Amino acid sequence: MADLASLSIHLPEADCLLVVPPAARLNWPSLGVHQLQACAREAGFEVAILYLNVLYGALVGAKPYEAISIAPTDWLLGERLFARVAFGAPPLGFASDRFLAVVAAANEVWTGTVTQERPSEHTREEEGEPRILREDLLAWEAHAFALVEWVAPRIAERHYPVVGATSHFDQTAASLAVLSRVKALQPQTRLIMGGANCEAEMAMGIHSLSSDLDHVFSGESEETFVRFLRDVRAGRDPGPPIIQGAPCTDLDALPTPRFEEYFAQVGSQPALADSELWVEYETSRGCWWGQKHHCTFCGFNALGMDFREKSADRVLEQLGEILASAPTRRIQMTDNIMPYRFHQTLIPRIPQEIGEVRIWYEMKANLSLSQVKNLGDTGEMTIQAGIEALDTELTRLTRKGILARQNVALLRYARIVGMKVQWNLLWGLPGDTEQPYRRTLDLLPKLRHLGPPYMLTHLILDRYSPYQLEPDTFGITDLQPLDCYADAFPSHADLERLAYHFQGTYQSGSHDALPLMAAINQEIERWHLAWRGDPRKWPTLMVSRAGPGRYVLVDTRGLGKAPTLYLNDAQARAVLVGGPRERVGAAEWAIENTYAADLDGWCAPLAVAPYALLTDFEARSADAVEAGRHIQVISL
């Protein structure tokens, strides 16, 4: 931790200063502000960037800041910490006593009780995760107040014509706190805001918060931001308070963002010296799946779902430029979904043309073994694959266009090639029933050799999701912003337009089966415990070749089965390839012994094997064509 006197800050001359506020993650830069900076520079303007989140992280410490940035969604912790300095609220918001009671409950170790008011994500205590105490929160809030009071005069004395801030999730109060303080010191400064919280009608919600805000940028703003700077320089009126952007149709034409300022600012804070740094990059915008079937819970892309992608050549060119000047080989892709053709046009070229990198990417789970192998060959790949359920009845409710056996197949393939998959299990879906969760509970112990989900998490109704846009379709009534918004924002705020997260009343079978939800959560906890420590001791269900037509299966999942078993070719085929249940000779044996599962009418294999062995089995399987259907998008 640092103190204000030890903080270093560099504010160069520029036509505009853009501020990245808390609680943006410390580990990577804001791609949005650097993309705007690159567009402005190409047009002859200089845009400086100040990472206020880095300064705040240096004050509170890297680990506490991480706890702030990943706090439960309905805490709105980032907003609460800056509510006093932004809106004159009491410390921690307008209902701090109620909030502190929620925090106290969250600090209790999981006891097996699930309620709608206390989703499991609030009560899980991961190994190494610190509890958040009342005194911590008050200290962090005091640091927030002091930081704004310290930094605003330093910004104001630079006399920037324009000062702006970005807002994504819970960054609004921090942004407005700094901007309003600058305006009080330099009234002629033009103040702007943009970012995900300013999409469509949310821009009007943001504008309702403060009369100090001159303009709010809504939507993709590469063109409108440059036009705005031209108007300001020429002394022209930049237009209405809400400046509406338009989707960029040629992503290849965008200039390459540069992140030197971010790395310099992080590097100047000794308290953050051990941070694992990444660069952010985008290869596409919109969602190619959402254009066909908008996932019911997804609020990303606001009203701009149209999918656009960069060419593989442009991606490789820009990544080469960015990595050449970055002190890291880690790349955080911001895409909502990876372009599917990149499996052929981009991913195989990365090892040869970029070298070994560590990549985080969102993509659809309908991947083949060879596609997963190619992803793994890029270096250390982590994917967020949109696995929210392990039962097809639930995946159909979410319009994911995926089957349960496809999700399980991806987890198997990832374990085989050593690739990480981030995923969660959702509960509390409108119209769900108890039965698919019972089937899920039965399946979970059988998957203990595969990468576990992060948590069981209750659905939140997000703005721009079908649940929020067409609630009547899903039987949702009394839709309104989460209560925490009224706690964090002043009474004059237009919360109906400002809020991103909502709550509502609807029928859900899982709400009537809380002991079952608790049992699922406990099984996930046991899964996590099994995966802690030495990877060589993680559970396994592995098939290896033991001789011509003979195979050995090693099972350490702890399900009471023999730890070692010899298989014939038909048995190995059932536990590695599977197929329609009635067409797999050893299906009943494999399912009864938990080496496969009955999913979607299939004998869905659960075992893993060396890549070459499984490739050989899939290639020569009599059901190879049917088995390959898991790489196809399932029509709804």
Residue 627 has pLDDT above 70, yes or no: no
Asked whether residue 217 falls in the same domain as residue 332, the answer is no
pLDDT band at 2 (very low <50, low <70, confident <90, very high): confident
Strand order in the sheet with 550-555: 541-547, 550-555, 564-567
Give the Cα separation of 412 and 143 in Å (integer): 46
Asked whether residue 418 falls in the same domain as residue 524, the answer is yes
What 3-state class would DSSP assign to 604?
Answer: strand
Residue 612 lies in a domain: yes
CATH assignment at residue 288: 3.80.30.20
pLDDT band at 130 (very low <50, low <70, confident <90, very high): low
CATH assignment at residue 72: 3.40.50
What pLDDT digit, counting tens, does each position of 426-463 carry? Answer: 999 999 999 999 999 999 999 999 999 999 999 999 99
For range 222-236, the mean pLDDT: 97
What pLDDT digit, counting tens, does each position of 509-519 carry? Answer: 999 999 999 99
Residue 587 lies in a domain: yes
CB 169 within 8 A of CB 499: no
What 3-state class would DSSP assign to 213?
Answer: coil
Number of structural domains the chain divides into: 3
What pLDDT digit, counting tens, does each position of 246-258 carry? Answer: 999 999 999 999 9
- Dihedral sign from CA coordinates of 102, 108, 113, 114: positive
Residue 117: what pLDDT?
A: 43
Q: What mean pLDDT is reported for the chain?
A: 92
Residue 244 lies in a domain: yes
Asked whether residue 235 falls in the same domain as residue 87, the answer is yes
pLDDT band at 104 (very low <50, low <70, confident <90, very high): confident
Tokens 């300022």 sit on residue: 261
Asked whether residue 451 falls in the same domain as residue 374, the answer is yes
Asked whether residue 296 falls in the same domain as residue 220, the answer is no
pLDDT band at 373 (very low <50, low <70, confident <90, very high): very high
Give how far Cα 445 sits from Cα of 167, 436, 528, 530, 594, Å.
Answer: 41, 15, 11, 11, 9
Residue 373 lies in a domain: yes
- Dihedral sign from CA coordinates of 508, 509, 512, 518: negative
Q: Which two tokens stand for residue 249?
A: 């149709």
Query: DSSP class of residue 300?
Result: T
Asked whether residue 308 falls in the same domain as residue 347, the answer is yes
What pLDDT digit, counting tens, does each position of 334-363 carry? Answer: 999 999 999 999 999 999 999 999 999 999
Residue 188 has pLDDT above 90, yes or no: yes
For range 229-243, the mean pLDDT: 96
For range 550-556, the mean pLDDT: 97
Question: Which residue range forms the structural domain that includes residue 299?
Answer: 278-458+508-537
User: Which range, of 98-107, 402-411, 585-594, averages the lowest pLDDT?
Assistant: 98-107
What pLDDT digit, counting tens, does each position of 61-81 carry? Answer: 999 999 999 999 999 999 999
Residue 184 has pLDDT above 70, yes or no: yes
Asked whether residue 390 falls in the same domain as residue 315, the answer is yes
Asked whether residue 412 falls in the same domain as residue 546, the answer is no
Within 8 A by CB and 6+ apart from 412, the residues are 450, 605, 606, 607, 608
Give the Cα separation of 510 and 386 in Å (integer): 20
Domain boundary among the residues 516, 537, 558 is at 537
Percent of the chain residues topping a pLDDT of 70 = 94
Residue 303: what pLDDT?
A: 63
What pLDDT digit, counting tens, does each position of 479-491 carry? Answer: 999 999 999 999 9
Residue 119 has pLDDT above 70, yes or no: no
Residue 202: what pLDDT?
A: 95
Domain boundary among the residues 517, 537, 557 is at 537
Residue 500 lies in a domain: no
Domain boundary among the residues 488, 516, 537 is at 537
What pLDDT digit, counting tens, does each position of 262-277 carry? Answer: 999 999 998 888 889 9
Dihedral pair phi/psi, residue 565, rounded to 5°: -150, 135
The torsion angle over the Cα atoms of residues 329, 333, 334 and 338, rounded to 10 degrees, is 170
Asked whether residue 546 falls in the same domain as residue 530, the answer is no
Asked whether residue 587 falls in the same domain as residue 625, the answer is yes
Asked whether residue 128 falls in the same domain as residue 113, the answer is yes
Asked whether residue 105 falls in the same domain as residue 24, the answer is yes
Residue 105: what pLDDT?
A: 83
Query: DSSP class of residue 114?
Result: -
Residue 39: what pLDDT?
A: 98
